[in-house]
């Protein structure tokens, strides 16, 4: 082929390849999320990447509509790539609820696409990792959502994190008392920016967009100063919403959630009542959740969600209330990398066998098969290159142990078991079933767990 | 919302939702594939769903070009959704090979899209499940490919299957001897249809499209009648290709592969030399693989692949030979369903706790937490509905054990442990750490493993 006919290999702007050292931690994180979701009885679902455009359009606001990847398919249908998993979930629930029944306890881990401005460091293709309980108004589901978030963070390896919980009805109650109920959306949208832009600018925005007075803005922002134990916080909120039935109901729900979470054994300090969190999205109506890493709060919430009254009203007359949350996979991976929690390996196979003696391929194949039969992942180098080159490859890939056998070793029926991390080695008898080698490998792996 | 404003919830033609009872076996199969790939040191990669159109177009033939989902993105670029994983792998390898080095041992499990004719029962969105060793000419990699296929089928749960192996060079050698070398592609394309359309129609096609004489077609088709042990087959092939250096090299390679596979401990009867398999795809140049279920051969090969000389010649001048195979996920799942190997459950949680006594939510939450801490997945129903309704839900979802505690049980500090499959139950003491309940649950799960 002529050089000039070649196509430059490249990815589209905002898209990226995932080489092994990026994919391995991603897959581990996804596996952990799946394991925790399953441990609470959530089941996996998936939906098509492509949907009828009318299903997607107008659901995420003007900005999202602009970012939609949309086109005509071969049959002339207007179609689009999903931009989140909530809209497909709503469509899915509306379509299948009669057959599946309630409650639906689902998780959905899948790719979504948005033609975002990449200058903000965002990708146009990313993964979402949602779980939802649909078809129940019971607070038990809200409690469980907090428990899942908690167990998920623990299972990933975090011990210092805070789940912040609020209830939209508390905010609604306050706004009713302040005569600002009709401005709820704009007020909450401003309040949602509190941690990013600070109280002064939030107040300015409330005055500008929600026509709040300075005093009203001040009253709303007082919420963010309420802190203390759950009981202390609840006591401070009660008078603020006392005249509003909605507000009082919100306080009751909030108390039920934190009491339930505590009953399930979650340490008190990991759950904070924060009556200033609003979650910008319009469809939350009850409990809302945000989750912050105590050592890295500035990256924002890594797992957020809440309760909604009616998931699928655009697609069905059947009212589908529910509660759920979404793990911010990419944000979390970035945080884990910053905290040194991500092991940089290009392979998950612990053991490496160099193809040392060109005449002994069958022996290497047998040795590899024996190690593998013991449940240990093992890679055999495919070519009889120089040993040094092969060990350099093993080092680059991140194998932990090399099993080296050349002519000398085969003559004496031994094998060098080399710990690549410590560069120490031992001679081990090579039996047909490789029992001694397997024992030596297991000992090293136990001494130096990942 | 007005009925008339509602959007009918539906998926596009050729696309489908994956509810839990479909997703759970899919995820298990994918997990098995990943586990086996990893056990040989293959590492995961992924690439974007969207690529520059010029990367994709013209790579899969005219038919594939027509099926491409293509459009202009927000920046006016011509883009397309990937239609397979081989083209993205080639682009990926060309782009990153200098940093990653050889050999690359990768697996790639991802969704692809083709605007196929759905009348053939095909979906327009499906998953591929590939693994490849790139950057080596060594037969060790061909041997390993067969071993991975073997271990994969065993790990999925099959014991009766046959891996059919051939080498394209053997066919090339025969065609050289018959003076048909310049018609190789058309001859092999016809030969590839042998199991589908039978020898007579293959001969007709060879005569029509490859300008073969009847005698030439007869000679080629004689290949498909060669059978027996590996040694018997090799002995019959040798004279057919004797005058061709390529053919002789092919026979040597073929022998190396089957000898290596046998040395690694694979039962002889699972590997068959079948010199009539060609694999239609033009880019295979050496070893080719097909895999058939002995009890369901008519569904065709469920895992196919082979060796190629130059994976990425369209994107780089660096020659990248390699070998790999692809598991036919959807075909295999259909087969497993037909063979009764797919458990129909909508949850992977074994244990179900009905929310029986409305006043005891905290006790249920504690019990669930204790069971979960013992490593057992457990679902708590979110609402205190009638017990019968809740147990019906558990039955529909496929839970295996229900832990029933109502007012009577709480008064006597016991719990009914109910085996939902046998409809038998026992009263078990309910301690704060739930030790007796956990023991009873584990006993049932061990007696009736999945």
Weakest-pLDDT range from A55-59, A424-428, B103-107: A55-59
**Average predicted confidence (pLDDT) for chain A:** 93
Residues of chain B with pLDDT > 70, as a percent, come to: 98
**In this structure, what token pair is assigned to residue A109?**
């881990």
For residues B371 and B334, membership in a common domain is answered with no
Q: Read off the pLDDT of residues A187-232 as tens digits, 9 standing for 90 and up.
A: 888 888 888 888 999 999 999 998 899 999 998 898 878 989 999 9
Say if A5 falls within a structural domain.
Answer: no
B235 band by pLDDT with thresholds 50, 70 and 90: very high
Residues of chain B in contact with residue A141, where contact means CB-CB under 8 angstroms, are: 382
B449 band by pLDDT with thresholds 50, 70 and 90: low
- B50 to A316: CB separation less than 8 angstroms, yes or no: no
- A43 to B348: CB separation less than 8 angstroms, yes or no: yes
For residues B295 and B250, membership in a common domain is answered with yes
Last residue of a domain, one of B269, B303, B338: B338
Report, as an integer, the average pLDDT of A105-113: 97
For residues B164 and B274, membership in a common domain is answered with yes
Q: Read off the pLDDT of residues B393-431 as tens digits, 9 standing for 90 and up.
A: 999 999 999 999 999 999 999 999 999 999 999 999 999
Report, as an integer, the average pLDDT of A101-106: 95
User: Looking at the 3D structure of chain A, how many domains does it have?
Assistant: 2
CATH number of residue A75's parent domain:
3.30.930.10
Last residue of a domain, one of A315, A338, A361: A338
Residues of chain A in contact with residue B94, where contact means CB-CB under 8 angstroms, are: 9
Say if B5 falls within a structural domain.
Answer: no
Residue A52: CB atoms within 10 Å: 21
Any idea what the Cα angle at residue B434 is, between residues A153 and A105, rounded to 5°? 45
A66 band by pLDDT with thresholds 50, 70 and 90: very high
Interface test with B, best of A2, A23, A48 (most B CBs within 10 A): A48
Question: Given a cut of 80, is residue B280 above it in pLDDT?
Answer: no
Report, as an integer, the average pLDDT of B171-196: 87
- A144 to B380: CB separation less than 8 angstroms, yes or no: yes
Question: Given a cut of 70, is residue A2 above it in pLDDT?
Answer: no
- B24 to A11: CB separation less than 8 angstroms, yes or no: no
Report, as an integer, the average pLDDT of B264-278: 92
Q: Does this complex have an ipTM over 0.85? A: yes
Say if B8 falls within a structural domain.
Answer: no
| Alpha-carbon span B308 to B281, nearest angstrom | 10
For residues A172 and A114, membership in a common domain is answered with yes
Residues of chain B in contact with residue A38, where contact means CB-CB under 8 angstroms, are: 348-349, 377
Weakest-pLDDT range from A92-106, B128-142, B190-204, B347-361: B190-204
* Per-residue model confidence (pLDDT) at position B392: 95
- A91 to B9: CB separation less than 8 angstroms, yes or no: yes
| Alpha-carbon span A305 to B172, nearest angstrom | 61
CA closest to B383 among chain A residues? A138
For residues B175 and B269, membership in a common domain is answered with yes
- A20 to B3: CB separation less than 8 angstroms, yes or no: no
For residues A175 and A109, membership in a common domain is answered with yes
Q: Which residue has the tokens 């792996």?
A: A445
* Distance between A71 CA and the closest CA of chain B, angstroms: 6
Interface test with B, best of A2, A5, A19 (most B CBs within 10 A): A19
For A236, residues 6+ apart whose C-beta sits below 8 A from its C-beta are A226, A228
How many residues are there in chain A? 450
Q: Which of A107-121, A157-171, A219-233 has the highest mean pLDDT?
A: A157-171
**Average predicted confidence (pLDDT) for chain B:** 93
B65 band by pLDDT with thresholds 50, 70 and 90: very high
Question: Given a cut of 70, is residue B390 above it in pLDDT?
Answer: yes
Residues of chain B in contact with residue A377, where contact means CB-CB under 8 angstroms, are: 38-41
Residues of chain A in contact with residue B105, where contact means CB-CB under 8 angstroms, are: 347, 379
Say if B4 falls within a structural domain.
Answer: no
Interface test with B, best of A64, A91, A365 (most B CBs within 10 A): A365
Which among A44, A69, A369 has CB closest to B73?
A69
Residues of chain A in contact with residue B6, where contact means CB-CB under 8 angstroms, are: 314-317
Report, as an integer, the average pLDDT of A410-439: 96
For residues B304 and B372, membership in a common domain is answered with no
| Adjacency order of strands within the sheet including B70-72 | B50-52, B78-81, B70-72
- B47 to A17: CB separation less than 8 angstroms, yes or no: yes
* Distance between B105 CA and the closest CA of chain A, angstroms: 9
Q: Read off the pLDDT of residues A132-148 as tens digits, 9 standing for 90 and up.
A: 999 999 999 999 999 99
Which among B12, B48, B106 has CB closest to A125?
B48
Question: Given a cut of 80, is residue A281 above it in pLDDT?
Answer: no
pTM across the whole model: 0.94
* Distance between B287 CA and the closest CA of chain A, angstroms: 16
B392 with B343: CB under 8 angstroms? no
Q: Compute the Cα dihedral for A422, A428, A430, A435 and give only its sign.
A: negative
**In this structure, what token pair is assigned to residue B227?**
């059978």
For residues B157 and B234, membership in a common domain is answered with yes
| Alpha-carbon span B257 to A434, nearest angstrom | 23
For residues B149 and B262, membership in a common domain is answered with yes
Residues of chain B with pLDDT > 90, as a percent, come to: 78
For A267, residues 6+ apart whose C-beta sits below 8 A from its C-beta are none
Any idea what the Cα angle at residue B300 is, between residues B299 and B304, rounded to 5°? 140
- B377 to A313: CB separation less than 8 angstroms, yes or no: no
Question: Given a cut of 90, is residue B122 above it in pLDDT?
Answer: no
For residues A144 and A165, membership in a common domain is answered with yes
Report, as an integer, the average pLDDT of A317-327: 95
* Per-residue model confidence (pLDDT) at position A450: 59
* Per-residue model confidence (pLDDT) at position B110: 97
- B45 to A377: CB separation less than 8 angstroms, yes or no: no
* Distance between B383 CA and the closest CA of chain A, angstroms: 6
* Per-residue model confidence (pLDDT) at position B223: 82
For A206-238, b where at least 16 C-beta lie within 10 A, e where not — what string?
Answer: beeebebeeebbebbbebbebeeebeebbebbe
* Per-residue model confidence (pLDDT) at position A348: 86
* Per-residue model confidence (pLDDT) at position A1: 61
In chain B, DSSP finds a helix count (H) and a strand count (E) of: 16, 16
Residues of chain A in contact with residue B11, where contact means CB-CB under 8 angstroms, are: 47-48, 51, 95
Say if A12 falls within a structural domain.
Answer: no
* Per-residue model confidence (pLDDT) at position B3: 65
Residue-number span of the structural domain to which A134 is assigned: 20-338
Report, as an integer, the average pLDDT of B334-351: 91
């Amino acid at each position: 082929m002529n050089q000039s006919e070649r196509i430059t290999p490249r990815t589209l702007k905002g898209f990226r390849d995932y080489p092994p050292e990026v994919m391995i931690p991603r897959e581990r994180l996804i596996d952990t999320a799946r394991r925790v979701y399953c441990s609470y009885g959530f089941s996996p679902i998936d939906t098509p990447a492509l949907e009828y455009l009318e299903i997607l359009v107008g659901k995420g606001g003007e900005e999202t509509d602009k970012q939609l990847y949309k086109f005509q398919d071969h049959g002339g249908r207007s179609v689009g790539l999903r931009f989140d998993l909530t809209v497909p979930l709503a469509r899915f629930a509306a379509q299948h609820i009669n057959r599946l029944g309630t409650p639906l306890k689902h998780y959905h881990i899948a790719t979504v696409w948005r033609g975002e401005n990449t200058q903000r460091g965002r990708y146009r293709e990313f993964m979402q990792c949602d779980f939802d309980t649909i078809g129940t108004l019971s607070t038990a589901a809200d409690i469980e959502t907090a428990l899942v978030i908690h167990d998920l963070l623990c299972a990933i390896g975090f011990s210092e994190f805070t789940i912040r919980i609020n209830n939209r009805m508390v905010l609604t109650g306050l706004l009713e008392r302040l005569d600002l109920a009709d401005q709820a959306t704009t007020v909450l949208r401003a309040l949602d920016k509190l941690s990013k832009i600070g109280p002064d600018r939030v107040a300015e925005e409330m005055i500008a967009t929600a026509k709040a007075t300075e005093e009203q803005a001040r009253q709303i922002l007082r919420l963010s100063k309420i802190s203390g134990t759950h009981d202390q916080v609840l006591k401070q909120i009660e008078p603020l919403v006392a005249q509003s039935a909605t507000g009082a109901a919100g306080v009751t729900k909030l108390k039920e959630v934190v009491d339930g979470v505590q009953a399930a054994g979650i340490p008190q300090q990991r759950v904070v009542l924060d009556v200033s969190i609003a979650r910008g999205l319009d469809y939350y109506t009850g409990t809302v959740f945000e989750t912050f890493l105590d050592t890295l709060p500035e990256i924002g919430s890594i797992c957020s969600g809440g309760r909604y009254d009616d998931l699928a009203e655009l697609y069905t007359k059947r009212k589908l209330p529910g509660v759920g949350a979404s793990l911010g996979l990419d944000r979390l991976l970035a945080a884990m990398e910053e905290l040194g929690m991500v092991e940089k390996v290009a392979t998950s196979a612990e053991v490496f066998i160099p193809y040392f003696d060109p005449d002994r391929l069958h022996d290497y194949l047998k040795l590899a098969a024996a190690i593998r039969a013991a449940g240990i992942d093992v890679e055999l180098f495919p070519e009889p290159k120089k040993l040094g080159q092969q060990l350099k490859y093993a080092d680059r890939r991140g194998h932990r142990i090399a099993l080296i056998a050349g002519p000398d070793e085969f003559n004496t029926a031994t094998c060098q078991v080399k710990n690549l991390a410590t560069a120490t080695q031992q001679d081990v008898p090579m039996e047909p079933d490789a029992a001694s080698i397997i024992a030596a490998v297991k000992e090293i792996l136990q001494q130096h767990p990942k």
